[in-house]
């Protein structure tokens, strides 16, 4: 099996071959759907190196290696789905989902922690954080922006990456700002265009996605891959929400005084509103319209 062969030959591999080996071991699901040219581009080597690497670890070429990776991924997915299908109670289903999420967390910690740390540091240093995403990813963008803006002292905005919305947002961006693109479960072409325009304007860019091959992931300075495979035969948002929470907590951890002041201000405003409500005369509250 390809994993065993990579481990067997790893110590004797050249630096370029090791980059390919590391990528395949850490991003097996992505690798299963990449051509030799696409894999070479992702890793930063020549396509011929991909073929030579495959031969170095005992395959006739990349086609044979790719076929084995695809079989491995298919068997893994089938086994997970079978476990879910055999679940007979709600408790069984919940345990399957939790087990799957736990596996995702362990995989993420092994492969993506360094990229996430780099992305978080970029956000901490930003003059202004911009967040964008399409479809349900736009809702995730709104969630993170609204969580960050009142608490960390960094202006944060989110926008839908349509033609007019992106044009208006990019016009307001400045060097020193950072754009975070969320692409979970969708191709994200419009999001990719936003990343491209932001980079041209001098912004640093981050992509949080479940696929390293989508346009925003290829365009961004830093890409963080979030696993979304689910035993329920649908893309899971569990890890995406978890990682957004980790980003928020990591940024907040570096600004304890600012965060404490923000929460004190918010709670003080809430107390003022409650007091105003208590003093509001009944006639100030409009009656429901009559039919």
What is the structure's pLDDT at 155?
93
State the Cα–Cα distance between residues 258 and 260, nearest whole angstrom: 6
Beta strands in the chain (DSSP E): 129-133, 156-159, 178-183, 204-209, 222-225
State the Cα–Cα distance between residues 128 and 3, nearest whole angstrom: 43
What is the structure's pLDDT at 97?
79
Mean pLDDT by 10 residues, the chain (291 residues): 89 92 84 88 92 95 92 68 65 79 80 91 96 93 88 88 96 96 90 96 95 88 88 75 92 70 68 77 65 57
What is the structure's pLDDT at 276?
76
What is the structure's pLDDT at 79?
57
What is the structure's pLDDT at 211?
84
What is the structure's pLDDT at 282?
66
Taken in order of first residue, the domains within the chain and their CATH numbers are: 2-86 (1.10.10.10), 113-253 (3.40.50.10490)
Q: Which two tokens stand for residue 3?
A: 């994993």
This prediction's pTM: 0.65
What is the structure's pLDDT at 228?
83
Listed in sequence order, the residues at least 6 apart from 206 whose beta carbon sits closer than 8 Å to its beta carbon are 119, 122, 123, 178, 179, 180, 181, 220, 221, 222, 223, 224
What is the structure's pLDDT at 36?
92
């Amino acid at each position: 099996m390809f994993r065993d062969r990579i481990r067997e030959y790893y110590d004797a591999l050249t630096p370029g071959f090791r980059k390919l080996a590391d990528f395949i071991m850490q991003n097996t699901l992505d690798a299963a759907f990449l051509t030799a040219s696409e894999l070479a581009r992702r890793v930063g080597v020549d396509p011929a190196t991909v073929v030579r690497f495959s031969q170095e670890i005992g395959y006739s070429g990349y086609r044979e290696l790719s076929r084995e990776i695809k079989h491995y991924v298919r068997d893994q997915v089938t086994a997970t789905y079978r476990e879910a299908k055999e679940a007979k109670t709600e408790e069984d289903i919940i345990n399957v989902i939790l087990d799957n999420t736990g596996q995702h967390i362990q995989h993420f910690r092994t492969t993506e922690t360094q990229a996430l740390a780099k992305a978080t540091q970029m956000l901490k240093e930003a003059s202004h954080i911009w967040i964008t995403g399409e479809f349900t990813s736009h809702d995730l963008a709104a969630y993170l922006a609204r969580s960050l803006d009142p608490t960390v002292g960094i202006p944060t905005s989110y926008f839908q990456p349509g033609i007019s919305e992106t044009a208006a947002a990019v016009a307001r961006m400045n060097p020193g700002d950072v754009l975070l693109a969320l692409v979970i479960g969708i191709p994200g072409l419009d999001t990719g265009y936003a990343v491209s325009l932001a980079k041209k304007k001098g912004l640093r860019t981050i992509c949080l996605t479940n696929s390293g091959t989508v346009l925003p992931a290829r365009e961004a300075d830093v890409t963080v891959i979030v696993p979304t495979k689910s035993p329920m035969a649908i893309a899971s948002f569990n890890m995406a929400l978890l990682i957004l929470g980790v980003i928020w907590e990591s940024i907040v951890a570096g600004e304890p005084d600012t965060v404490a002041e923000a929460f004190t201000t918010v709670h003080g405003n809430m107390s003022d509103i409650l007091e105003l409500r208590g003093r509001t005369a009944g006639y100030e509250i409009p009656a429901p319209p009559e039919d």
